[in-house]
Structures are given as structure tokens and as C-alpha cells.
């Protein structure tokens, strides 16, 4: 017995060793089999990290695990990922491992796929990314297939866990997202008909043309399917599924044919409670239906029958009916009652374009408000045609009191209307107003709208709209937000496009207001913009993106920053988050301000490009009230008088929608009419006064002063301009920075009489009117800042040079005076000599007698003159 046990133990040990050793021997073969299958049959790039084999964990079967599989498409979807899977586990009999793959395909009995991500895509050209099998490969390999592809599918059970699927049809703009997908099945195979038992669970979202029809709806399905593999026919029996909480039973079949898929399926809800209708809603809206009180019934049933091909769809006949139903949520105060629904979805001939929805009745009542509607939607597969009728009253605040909907924006108010509208969707998209027919009217009262996106709730006390083909007239509109009030009339071109397609709101409006405070219309920036403003919690003004309109405004008071603009009027053309201002005028600082130009909030940082016309501004008030003016000409703060100016400037706007001084550039021409100056208000004038004490800066003549400025990169350049103080000509030029730095030159042409007592004594001694006209240039260089100015002049050297000049003049005048006296004497002597020559001989004799006396007299005069000149020269020296 011991010998038998020993032999048995050895055999078992050898068997275990073999089970452990075989995977090491065969793993390279399995890896080659998988790669060989992919290379031969799949027209795509197939990659995986590893292929492992185990015989123990799945004994008596072999288990092959493929880790991190990736399939990447070739053209026309080159480098797009088709499928990824964290792991794929294949089970098969151990004997399958020893087959010759070239002659005998390996039979797989079980498949498990975990965390698969599959993207199915159909392009506008009709290409599909799932068409990855090579020519000659049987794409519909079945359980009885004997194609030499390396594998034979004969699955007894399979499962897909934690997976997702995306389907994108670019032709119809259809998108399906399936997430949290868990699917399992097991099969019983026979020669003729096999049976597949499946269980599925997933969240499904469906959108067509950007309209959402399913939004993360939870779908479950337990299906028992007969597989007729010879005819490729799959029959559903004993099937029950749920869309959210709506139960559906269906039966019928799908058969695969060369020309497409033949479908014949009927379905209905097994119960008839109105609660089934609420169950269709997304769960985040419908909430828990367990305690909801309902009355009345709801029935849905349908038939889908026909061929799905490239040109046809099955015929469709789906009906939904509810009669005199009601519901009330236990935690909400209002009941919705008198609910009547009669709707059908039909296609009678298989042409996709001929599918239509007929909503014959959709009526309900909340409190005393009754709402009725009907609509027909045709040509759903193409350019959808809509004809709808709306008639009734809605208290908007009651919607959230009767149905558990969580609104991002709080609204209330009474909406009354009777409207017929007829249009096609292409007309909405292209703004073809002649194909949009509206008739009727809508009246809104006490409408209140609040949101995190705006600073203050908007209260529309009254709004009346009249609809006519091609025109929507805004007959009356009165609203208030914060301290701002607005009344308006006008016309709207595409209200339906704005409401249904998120198109821009187009129109022309005349707006009046008593008070319009700009800060009441602050709009929060998006998250990305907020992140860029890391340290700022402020919101920025934004021109609404949905506006495309012309506005003529007439406002008594506009409150902008710290300014009150009076009697504002003009027009604005708003589009693409830009406002073009035309002929905008306002009373400001006792004068008139005119503005034209552009303001844009397209980028994260708003920008402006404006032309300002300033007429008769009070200088002191404007330069103390406007930071811009303070930066352009700080010295003007010392002036009293009036200002005319034209200013062209552009730059960025900061969070409060005022100019960011550091970014502006442009130019300006200014004309000042100054009545008085207070130099003590500005240190730079005090400093100039100290250095140029002969000029009283409080008495400068600045009347009708004209200047030109240019500014860019934080620097204001002042073109040279001339002013006058008494008989002193002054020229000013230079620049200053927005950082208050100074770099100016003040050039003065100063008459000599202003340059001190020494100079004036010299002028008095010279006693010549021409000397009083002598001037010298004096230059004052101004640097530093407005708070701490530095002034340097060349006045000392100028006075010294003038003194030397006056001394030279005096010397020259003395010399000229001596020469004149000598000339007078010489002229007298010469005249007397001439007379003697003409005398008679008697007189000549007499002259000879007095010759000695005359010579002595001349010598005496010349001696005295030369003596006096020498004495004067010594005195001067």
C-alpha cells in the first residue's frame, strides 16, 4: 500500500511539475500565435506588453492573458486609437496548445475583457475605423467557422467589465457614449440553434446635431437570444430592460444579410402608470420616484421593422399616450395635473428623411396656470421642419416647486403667450429670416433672473413682444438691476435661433435710462481667465458674446468708476464681444466729451482704441478727476481755466474697465484758456521759482496755450511750445513718465535788466537805450520726479558773460566819446587855417606874427585830452 501511495505521489508531483513547466515552454509559442493572428488578419497596428500562460489557476483548462493591448488604425484614420484593453483573458482546453496552428485553429471557450476603451467612428466620406480585417478574412466568424485564421470561436461564456464605448457618426453628427459598461453571457451551442443568455448594464448618452436625447441614462438589459448561426439570425425572447427606471419588454429578431441588417422588433412598457413616464427623465432630474404620488396612465409601444442599409432605415411606429395624469413630489408644494400627452414617432416608407414626430397634445396645469402646446417635426433625417403652437400661462417660479429640477440660474416671473411658429432648422442656422414664420405675442411680467455670472439680479417688470413673419417687435421693456434702470423698444431678428441654437441675439434697440451704473453689469470671467489672475478675486466686465445688435442710447446719468457722466447719448454697434461707439457725447467737468472708437473684450484682457473730443472742460476738475489726464499732464492740476483737446489713445483695460495707464499709447492736441495758476500745488514749479526768481510762475501768460503730446511705453513726449512772462520768451520741451519721472528743458530769453543789481548799475552808467534790449539765453534742466524734482540752470555763467559784455560796451563808448572831441577840435583848427589862406597878404603877414601862439594852443588842448583819456582808463581799470 505504501508503495502504491508513493508511486501515486510521485506521479502527482511529476504532473504538477509538468503543469508548472509547460507554460515556460509554450509561452513563446503563444506569443507568436497571437502576433501571427494579428499580422495575418488585422489591418492595423497591434501592440501588447506581454502574453502569459497558466495551467494551474484554470485547470483543467489553459489560460492565456494578454496585457495592455492597443490597436491603432492605419489610413484613413492613421494613428487614431481604435481599441485599448487592460487585459484579455482567453481560456481553452490544454490540448489546444499542442495543435499545429497552420493546420488546426485553436478553439477558445471563454473570453474575459477588462477596462476596454473602444472608439467606433464613421467619417463624412463613409469610411469606418472598425473595418480592420484584411481582404479575404471572414469578418463574421461564427462558432462553427473553420477558416484558417489561427483561432476558432466556440465561446461557452464571456464577460466585459469596467469598459466604455464611443460611437461617432460625422455624417449625421450623432454621438453615443456608453460608460460603466458591464456585460456577460453564456451560451449553449447545438448544431442548428444555440442559445445565448446575456446581462448588460451601462450609462448611455446620445446626442444628434448637438441636441441631447439621452444624458447619462442608466440602461440595463437581461436578454435571452436564440442564435441561428446558419442564417445569421438572432431572436430575442423573454427580454426585459430598463431606461433609467422605465421598464420595457421587447421581442423580435435581427438578421444579418449582405445588404444590411433586417430588423423586426416590437416593444412596450409592461405597466401603465404615469410614473413610467417620469422614469424616462435623467435620474438627476427625476430623483427618487418611490414616494411620488401619480395618477393617470402612460403607455408607450412601438414597432421597428425593415432593413438597415446605407440608404434605408426600418419603418417606425412608436406611440406615447397619457390621459388626465398628475404627479406630486413629496417634498415639493405644487402638483402638476391635467397632463395630457399624445405623441407619435413614425416612418412609413424606410426613407430616413421621411421620419417625423407628431406631438398632437402636450397640456398640463400648475395651480391656475394652464399651458397647451402641439408640434409637428418633419424630415428628421435632413433639414428638420418645425411647426409648433404654444398657448398658455407659466409661472416660472412654480416649475422648481413642482418638479425637482436644479437650475443653475434662478428665475421667476409670469409668462403669457399665444404663438405659432414655423421654420426649418437650416433657416435658424443660416439666419434666413424669410423662412421663419412667427405669429402671436408674448407678455412677461415680474421676471427676475439671478446667476453667479452677474453681480445683481435682473428684474424685468414688463416686456411685450409681438411676433409677425420676419419681425419680432419689442414694444415695451422695463428692467432694473442694482441702481440701474433700463427701458427699451426695438426689433429682434432671430429670437428662436438664440433660444434654440445658441445663435447670437440680433436686433436694433432704443434704450433709455435715468441711471446706468456700469458696475451693475459685471460678468465673471471663465475659470481659465481667473487662473491667469492668480492673486485677484475681482471680476472683469465682459461684453456678452451672444449680442449682435445696434443700440441707440439716451441716458441721464452714467456712473463709470468715480465719474458721473450726464446727458449721455449716442449709438453702439455690438458684435463679437466688441462695442463700436459712434457719436457718443456726454456732459462732463462743465464741458462736453465726445467719443468714437472701439472697445473689445474678446481676449482675457480687454482693449480699447478711442478718439476723445474735449470741449470747454474745467481744467482743475478734469485733471483731478481723471487718472489719465493726471498722467498726461500733471502740471495742469495747478491751473484754473478751460480746456479744449483731441486725444487719440489705445491700450488695455483693467478689472474695473478703466484704462491701464502703463499700456496706453497715442497722441493729443490741447488748447488751454488759463485764468490763474497756483504754483504751490506742484513742487516742480516751486523748484523752478527758487532757481529763476525773476519769473513769477503764478503770473505766467498761458492763455490760448496750444500743445502737442505723444505717449507710448509709459512715456509722454511734449513737443516744444512757447509761453511768455512779461517781456521774457520761454520755450518748454521734454518728456515725463507715467511713473512720475521728469526730463524737461525750459529755455528762457532773459533781458539783461532781470539779472541782478550789478548788471543794472552797469546799464545805468552806460545810459544807452540799446543796452536795455540786450538778452541772454538761460536754460533750466528739470529731472527727478514730481515728488522730488531736481532743477539745474546756467544762470550764473550767463550773468558773468553779460557783465563782461557790458564792460566792453562801456569801454568802447568812452573811446568813441574821446575820438569825437578830438575830431571837433581838429575840424575847428583846419577851418581857421583855410580862412587864413584866402586872406590878403596883409592878413598873411599878421598870421605869421601870431603863428607861435596858435601852435601853443593846439598842443595844450591835445595834451589835456590825452591826459584826461589816460586818467579815465586808469579809473576804469
pLDDT one-digit tens code per residue, 367-414: 888 999 999 998 876 788 899 999 998 888 888 888 877 665 667 888
Please say which residue of 127, 145, 171 terminates a domain.
171
Alpha helix (H) residue ranges in 523-618: 527-532
| pLDDT at residue 851 in the model | 45
Dihedral (Cα; 398, 401, 405, 409), 10-degree rounding: 60
Please say which residue of 131, 154, 171 terminates a domain.
171
In this predicted structure, the answer to whether residue 842 has a pLDDT above a threshold of 60 is no
Q: How far apart are CA 612 and CA 606, in angstroms?
A: 18
Q: How far apart are CA 426 and CA 503, in angstroms?
A: 12
In this predicted structure, the answer to whether residue 575 has a pLDDT above a threshold of 60 is yes
Asked whether residue 349 is assigned to any structural domain, the reply reads no
pLDDT per position as a tens digit, 612-630: 998 988 887 887 777 778 7
**pLDDT category of residue 639 using cuts at 50, 70 and 90:** confident
**pLDDT category of residue 678 using cuts at 50, 70 and 90:** confident
What is the chain's mean pLDDT, rounded?
A: 77
**pLDDT category of residue 876 using cuts at 50, 70 and 90:** very low
**pLDDT category of residue 2 using cuts at 50, 70 and 90:** very low
| pLDDT at residue 464 in the model | 92
In this predicted structure, the answer to whether residue 536 has a pLDDT above a threshold of 70 is no
Asked whether residue 42 is assigned to any structural domain, the reply reads yes
**pLDDT category of residue 528 using cuts at 50, 70 and 90:** very low
| pLDDT at residue 873 in the model | 39
Q: What is the mean pLDDT of residues 686-711?
A: 82
| Residue 576 CB coordination number (10 Å) | 12
Q: What is the mean pLDDT of residues 589-593?
A: 88
Q: What is the mean pLDDT of residues 558-580?
A: 87
Asked whether residue 2 is assigned to any structural domain, the reply reads yes
Residues contacting 13, CB < 8 A, separation 6+: none
Which is more confidently placed, 807 or 390? 390
Q: What is the mean pLDDT of residues 433-445?
A: 86
Q: Identify the weakest region by mean pLDDT among 312-316, 633-637, 745-749.
A: 633-637
| pLDDT at residue 317 in the model | 93
Q: How far apart are CA 284 and CA 289, in angstroms?
A: 11
Cis peptide before 464 (omega within 30 of 0): no
Check: CB of residue 143 under 8 Å from CB of residue 166.
no
Asked whether residue 413 is assigned to any structural domain, the reply reads no
Most confident listed range (423-427, 620-624, 782-786): 782-786
Q: Identify the weakest region by mean pLDDT among 2-11, 192-201, 391-400.
A: 2-11
In this predicted structure, the answer to whether residue 487 has a pLDDT above a threshold of 50 is yes
| pLDDT at residue 74 in the model | 86
Domain enclosing residue 876, as ranges = 839-877
Which is more confidently placed, 771 or 310? 310
Q: What is the mean pLDDT of residues 651-669?
A: 85
Asked whether residue 215 is assigned to any structural domain, the reply reads no
Number of domains in the chain: 2
Kindly state the cell numbers that stand for 602.
474678446
Check: CB of residue 447 under 8 Å from CB of residue 413.
yes
Asked whether residue 562 is assigned to any structural domain, the reply reads no
Burial class of 407 by CB neighbour count within 10 A (0 to 12, 13 to 18, 19+)? exposed
For residue 133, which of 42, 47, 46, 45 has the smallest C-alpha distance?
A: 42
For residue 253, which of 262, 245, 241, 244 has the smallest C-alpha distance?
A: 262
| pLDDT at residue 248 in the model | 83
**pLDDT category of residue 555 using cuts at 50, 70 and 90:** very high
| pLDDT at residue 556 in the model | 93
Most confident listed range (237-251, 477-491, 512-526): 477-491
**pLDDT category of residue 757 using cuts at 50, 70 and 90:** low
Q: Identify the weakest region by mean pLDDT among 263-277, 281-295, 448-462, 694-708.
A: 281-295
Asked whether residue 460 is assigned to any structural domain, the reply reads no
In this predicted structure, the answer to whether residue 441 has a pLDDT above a threshold of 70 is yes
Alpha helix (H) residue ranges in 436-579: 495-501, 527-532
| pLDDT at residue 389 in the model | 93
Q: What is the mean pLDDT of residues 489-498?
A: 79
pLDDT per position as a tens digit, 225-265: 887 877 888 888 878 887 777 788 888 888 888 787 899 99
In this predicted structure, the answer to whether residue 357 has a pLDDT above a threshold of 70 is yes
| pLDDT at residue 16 in the model | 41
Instruction: Give the distance, in angstroms, between the CA of residue 533 and the centroid of all CA atoms in the same chain.
Output: 14
Residue carrying the nine cell digits 432605415: 313
Q: How far apart are CA 197 and CA 156, in angstroms?
A: 10
| pLDDT at residue 321 in the model | 92
Instruction: Give the whole-number percent of the chain exceeding pLDDT 70.
Output: 73
| pLDDT at residue 339 in the model | 92
Please say which residue of 141, 171, 201 terminates a domain.
171
Q: How far apart are CA 86 and CA 161, in angstroms?
A: 11
Residues contacting 228, CB < 8 A, separation 6+: 192, 193, 234, 235
Most confident listed range (190-204, 264-278, 293-307, 615-629): 293-307
Which is more confidently placed, 412 or 874? 412
Q: What is the mean pLDDT of residues 124-147?
A: 59
In this predicted structure, the answer to whether residue 135 has a pLDDT above a threshold of 70 is no
Q: How far apart are CA 107 and CA 152, in angstroms?
A: 5
**pLDDT category of residue 58 using cuts at 50, 70 and 90:** low
| pLDDT at residue 63 in the model | 82
Asked whether residue 101 is assigned to any structural domain, the reply reads yes
For residue 781, which of 799, 797, 798, 793 has the smallest C-alpha distance?
A: 793
Residues contacting 805, CB < 8 A, separation 6+: 774
What is the DSSP secondary-structure string of 406-462?
--SSEEEEEEEEEEEEEEEHHHHHHT-GGG-EEEEEEEEEEEEEE-TTBSS-EEEEE
Kindly state the cell numbers that stand for 385.
421642419
In this predicted structure, the answer to whether residue 791 has a pLDDT above a threshold of 60 is yes
Q: Rounded to two decimals, what is the model's pTM?
A: 0.58
Amino acid at each position: 500500500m505504501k508503495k502504491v501511495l508513493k508511486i501515486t505521489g510521485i506521479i502527482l508531483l511529476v504532473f504538477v511539475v509538468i503543469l508548472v513547466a509547460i507554460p515556460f515552454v509554450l509561452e513563446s509559442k503563444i506569443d507568436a500565435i497571437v502576433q501571427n493572428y494579428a499580422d495575418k488578419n488585422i489591418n492595423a497596428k497591434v501592440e501588447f506588453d506581454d502574453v502569459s500562460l497558466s495551467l494551474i489557476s484554470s485547470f483543467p483548462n489553459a489560460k492565456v492573458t494578454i496585457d495592455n493591448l492597443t490597436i491603432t488604425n492605419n489610413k484613413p484614420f492613421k494613428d487614431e486609437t481604435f481599441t485599448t484593453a487592460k487585459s484579455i483573458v482567453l481560456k481553452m482546453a490544454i490540448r489546444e496548445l499542442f495543435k499545429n496552428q497552420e493546420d488546426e485553429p485553436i478553439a477558445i471557450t471563454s473570453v474575459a475583457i477588462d477596462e476596454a476603451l473602444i472608439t467606433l467612428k464613421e467619417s463624412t466620406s463613409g469610411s469606418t475605423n472598425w473595418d480592420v480585417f484584411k481582404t479575404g478574412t471572414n469578418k463574421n466568424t461564427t462558432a462553427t467557422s473553420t477558416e484558417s485564421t489561427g483561432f476558432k470561436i466556440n465561446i461557452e461564456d464571456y464577460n466585459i467589465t469596467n469598459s466604455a464605448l464611443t460611437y461617432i457618426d460625422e455624417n449625421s453628427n450623432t454621438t453615443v457614449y456608453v460608460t460603466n459598461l458591464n456585460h456577460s453571457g453564456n451560451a449553449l451551442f447545438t448544431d442548428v440553434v444555440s442559445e445565448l443568455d446575456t446581462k448588460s448594464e451601462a450609462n448611455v448618452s446620445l446626442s444628434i446635431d448637438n441636441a441631447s436625447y439621452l444624458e447619462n441614462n442608466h440602461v440595463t438589459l437581461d436578454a435571452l437570444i436564440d442564435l441561428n448561426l446558419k442564417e445569421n439570425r438572432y431572436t430575442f425572447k423573454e427580454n426585459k430592460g430598463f431606461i433609467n427606471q422605465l421598464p420595457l419588454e421587447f421581442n423580435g429578431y435581427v438578421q444579418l444579410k449582405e445588404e444590411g441588417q433586417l430588423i423586426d422588433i416590437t416593444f412596450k412598457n409592461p405597466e401603465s402608470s404615469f410614473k413610467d413616464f417620469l422614469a424616462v427623465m435623467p435620474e438627476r432630474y427625476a430623483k427618487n420616484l418611490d414616494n411620488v404620488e401619480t395618477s393617470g396612465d402612460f403607455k408607450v409601444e412601438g414597432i421597428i421593422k425593415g432593413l438597415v442599409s446605407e440608404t434605408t432605415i426600418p419603418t417606425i411606429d412608436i406611440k406615447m399616450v397619457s390621459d388626465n395624469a398628475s404627479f406630486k413630489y413629496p417634498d415639493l408644494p405644487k402638483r402638476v395635473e391635467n397632463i395630457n400627452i399624445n405623441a407619435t414617432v413614425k416612418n412609413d416608407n424606410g426613407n430616413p428623411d421621411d421620419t417625423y414626430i407628431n406631438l398632437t397634445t402636450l397640456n398640463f396645469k400648475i395651480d391656475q396656470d394652464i399651458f397647451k402646446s402641439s408640434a409637428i417635426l418633419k424630415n428628421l433625417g435632413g433639414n428638420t421642419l418645425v411647426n409648433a403652437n404654444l398657448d398658455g400661462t407659466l409661472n416660472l417660479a412654480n416649475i422648481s416647486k413642482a418638479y425637482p429640477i436644479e437650475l443653475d440660474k434662478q428665475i421667476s416671473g409670469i409668462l403669457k403667450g399665444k404663438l405659432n411658429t414655423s421654420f426649418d432648422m437650416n433657416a435658424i442656422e443660416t439666419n434666413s429670416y424669410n423662412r421663419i414664420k412667427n405669429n402671436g405675442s408674448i407678455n412677461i411680467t415680474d421676471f427676475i433672473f439671478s446667476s453667479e455670472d452677474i453681480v445683481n439680479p435682473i428684474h424685468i417688470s414688463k416686456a411685450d413682444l409681438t411676433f409677425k413673419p420676419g419681425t419680432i417687435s419689442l414694444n415695451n421693456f422695463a428692467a432694473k438691476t442694482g441702481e440701474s434702470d433700463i427701458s427699451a423698444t426695438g426689433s429682434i431678428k432671430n429670437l428662436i435661433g438664440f433660444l434654440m441654437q445658441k445663435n447670437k441675439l440680433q436686433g436694433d434697440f432704443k434704450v433709455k435710462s435715468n441711471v446706468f451704473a456700469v458696475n451693475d453689469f459685471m460678468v465673471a470671467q471663465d475659470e481659465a481667465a481667473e487662473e491667469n489672475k492668480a492673486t485677484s478675486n475681482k471680476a472683469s466686465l465682459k461684453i456678452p458674446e451672444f449680442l449682435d445688435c445696434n443700440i441707440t442710447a439716451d441716458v441721464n446719468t452714467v456712473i463709470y468708476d468715480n465719474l458721473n457722466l450726464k446727458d449721455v447719448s449716442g449709438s453702439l454697434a455690438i458684435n463679437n464681444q466688441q462695442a463700436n461707439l459712434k457719436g457718443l457725447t456726454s456732459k462732463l467737468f462743465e464741458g462736453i466729451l465726445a467719443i468714437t472708437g472701439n472697445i473689445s473684450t474678446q481676449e482675457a484682457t480687454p482693449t480699447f482704441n478711442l478718439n476723445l473730443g474735449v470741449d470747454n472742460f474745467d481744467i482743475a476738475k478734469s485733471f483731478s478727476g481723471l487718472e489719465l489726464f493726471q498722467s498726461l499732464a500733471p502740471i495742469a492740476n495747478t491751473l484754473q481755466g478751460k480746456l479744449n483737446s483731441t486725444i487719440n489713445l489705445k491700450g488695455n483695460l483693467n478689472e474695473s474697465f478703466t484704462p491701464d495707464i502703463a499700456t496706453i499709447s497715442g497722441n493729443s492736441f490741447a488748447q488751454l484758456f488759463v485764468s490763474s495758476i497756483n504754483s504751490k500745488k506742484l513742487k516742480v514749479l516751486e523748484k523752478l521759482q527758487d532757481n529763476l526768481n525773476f519769473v513769477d510762475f503764478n503770473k505766467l501768460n498761458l492763455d490760448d496755450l496750444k500743445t502737442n503730446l505723444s505717449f507710448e511705453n509709459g512715456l509722454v513726449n511734449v513737443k516744444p511750445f512757447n509761453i511768455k512772462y512779461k517781456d521774457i520768451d520761454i520755450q518748454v520741451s521734454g518728456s515725463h513718465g507715467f511713473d512720475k519721472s521728469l526730463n524737461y528743458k525750459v529755455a528762457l530769453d532773459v533781458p539783461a535788466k532781470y539779472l541782478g543789481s550789478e548788471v543794472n548799475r552797469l546799464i545805468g552808467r552806460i545810459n544807452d537805450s540799446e543796452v536795455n534790449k540786450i538778452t541772454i539765453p538761460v536754460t533750466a534742466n528739470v529731472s527727478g520726479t514730481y515728488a522730488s524734482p531736481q532743477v539745474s540752470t546756467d544762470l550764473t555763467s550767463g550773468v558773468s558773460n553779460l557783465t563782461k559784455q557790458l564792460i566792453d560796451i562801456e569801454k568802447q563808448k568812452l573811446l568813441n566819446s574821446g575820438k569825437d572831441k578830438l575830431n571837433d577840435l581838429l575840424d575847428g583848427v583846419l577851418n581857421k587855417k583855410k580862412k587864413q589862406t584866402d586872406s590878403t597878404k596883409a592878413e598873411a603877414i599878421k598870421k605869421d606874427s601870431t603863428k607861435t601862439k596858435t601852435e601853443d594852443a593846439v598842443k595844450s588842448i591835445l595834451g589835456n585830452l590825452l591826459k584826461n583819456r589816460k586818467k579815465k582808463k586808469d579809473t576804469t581799470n
